[in-house]
Structure 1
């Protein structure tokens, strides 16, 4: 069996989790100085969640026909990403039109993301062992400032982001880029992620794969710990 010398981590649902839809909406309302009563906030937040408008949150219950094509390629380009998520949000009536962009802008802030309880500890231990560490994400914006704000960037050797490459998981070419960035053969790399299809696509290239459950941070205190048993 090949020794694992590098680990690629997915971002959303693996290392960090996005805030709740209600917290997200409240933050955007506050930033724009918009008042909304409590019952309305809860109702609109639930509608936004069903619409799949929060990146990193639930997938849409139903994708509008006009956005279906864009949805499939949303992580290949920053403009596509913003367009599809603001488009999904616009299915939900909100009191001010600028709120749709405010919501999108909010989800890119460090305050909108919460690291899983064991993320820093696992990354620190891998780093101590000399393991190469990368973040490989299907995403439409630069997550590096979020990692930096939460003190995780110090352990990460590379970030490979779909929108910067114009390729999205499970395309083997994206995993190949990440392995090259780590300076390792795919057989020596473990991919860790919460999506068996997207992240599990690493196995086509010869990487190992470990699945983690995309749970709220308070319900997954040690989901990343098994990585330490898999890495030499």
Structure 2
């Protein structure tokens, strides 16, 4: 019997996208790097950003600039940092009603609810002020625990926080970072959240039950009642 439900954050509980466009866009052009070069440098540091090796966004920017022998202006770094914080705040302001209804129903049924998110500090700086926070019994941010999805370890950390065995828990996510495979390898039942995903992208991930809407979970999973 399932006693706990873990959720991914971005593109599962909240989304950065409005159709084909991001809700909030910011530029790093003032740093003086070609946007394509910056993106390549940014992407190459993803694992180190997610596992907390880089303690914050500013440290990533400094490292990128250092790698190109560029001067570092602390005020400029902070300006770009605040723009990113702003951009990451926007998705938290528009939580899908069905998501809140699902979380409320799970709590009413006595389920334990957890979050497992690959993230850096600035990406979740608005978490504690969001409508979501009150529903969660445990939150696992990758940068805090120094391990990221899809490592089974991060799922086991979540289970330990909630006091459940992996086989007593499910994980729901959009599938990024190979998180569904990681959850399954850790012993959890993994479900594919597709409500924020384009159909063609959703179909790229196979082998996991698909949830077409948040409330679809209630019809698909036998949950414990207390």
User: Would the TM-score normalized by the shorter structure come out above 0.5?
Assistant: yes
Q: Find the aligned partners of 1:190 and 1:142 in 2 and give their Cα distance.
A: 27
CA apart distance, 1:214:
6.2
Three-state SS of the structure 2 residue aligned to 1:73 is helix
1:153/1:101 CA distance change after superposition, 3 Å: closer
Q: 1:182 to 1:137 in 2, by over 3 A?
A: same
What 5-or-longer segments of structure 1 have no aligned partner? 29-46, 54-62, 89-95, 217-221
Per the alignment, in what secondary structure is the counterpart of residue 168 of structure 1? Answer: coil
Matched residues in 2 for 1:179 and 1:153: separation? 18
Distance in 1, Cα, partners of 2:180 & 2:55: 21
Q: Please show how residues 11-26 of structure 1 align to structure 2 within 5 Å.
A: 11-18=9-16, 23-25=23-25
Mapped contact 2:16–2:23 kept (Cα < 8 A): no
User: Within 2, Cα distance between the matches of 1:130 and 1:214?
Assistant: 25
Q: Does 1:208 align with 2:189?
A: yes
Give 1:70's aligned residue: 45
Matches within 5 A, 1:23-38: 23-25=23-25
Q: What residue in structure 2 maps to residue 7 of structure 1?
A: 5
Q: 1:160 aligns with which of 130, 135, 140?
A: 140
- CA 1:108–1:11 in 2, change beyond 3 Å: closer, same or farther? same
Cα root mean square deviation, aligned:
3.6
Partner of 1:79: 54
1:125 is aligned to 2:125: no
Give the number of aligned pairs. Answer: 189
1:224 equivalent in structure 2: 214
How far apart in 1 are the matches of 2:100 and 2:22? 26
Once the two structures are TM-superposed, the CA of residue 147 in structure 1 deviates from its matched residue by: 4.0
Structure 1 position 198 matched with structure 2 position 182: no
| Contact 1:70–1:80 (8 Å) recurs in 2 | no
- TM-score (structure 2 length as normaliser): 0.69
Residue 207 of structure 2: aligned partner:
none
Matches within 5 A, 1:89-128: 97=76, 99-109=79-89, 111-113=90-92, 114-128=94-108
- Residues 1:194 and 1:22: Cα distance change in structure 2 (over 3 Å): closer
Change (3 A) 1:119 1:68: closer
Shift of 1:131: 0.4
Question: Quick one: structure 1 residues 19 and 73, their matched pair in 2 at CA, closer, same or farther if it must change by over 3 Å?
Answer: same
Between stretches 189-198 and 179-188, larger displacement belongs to 189-198
